[in-house]
Amino acid sequence: MKTLKLRIKDKHIKELNRLSGSVNFVWNYINALCFEHLNRTGKFFSAYDLSEYTKGSGEYLGLHSQTLQAINETHAKSRKQFKKAKLSWRSNRPDAKRKSLG
């Protein structure tokens, strides 16, 4: 028995790409904010501190507030786990070799 393999394009791909771009934008903003704060004060932001800076931006980016809080928690956890002052930037360009996980 032979099976035919087809890839069917999702009709929601444009919306998902827009949302992933918004998530990557928030990640990059948090990354720059944390690095600048670390250079000025020598202290790291916690996820709670970061949520004060991203509060209300979900309305403009089309993201839920819980999504923003999850991004803050993931960034703080990753920065602490890998002991880095600045994590890698996330890109959502279509011509990039690999897309970020946004």
What letter represents residue 1's amino acid?
Answer: M
As a dihedral over the C-alpha atoms of residue 18, residue 74, residue 58, residue 67, rounded to 10 degrees, the angle is 80
Give the Cα separation of 22 and 102 in Å (integer): 8
Q: Is the full-model pTM beyond 0.75?
A: yes
Contact call for residues 30 and 50 (beta carbons, < 8 A)? yes
Residue 72 has pLDDT above 90, yes or no: yes
Q: What is the pLDDT of residue 91?
A: 83
Distance CA(69)–CA(65), nearest Å, equals 6
Q: Percentage of residues in the chain with pLDDT exceeding 70? A: 90
Q: Domain locations in the chain? A: 15-82
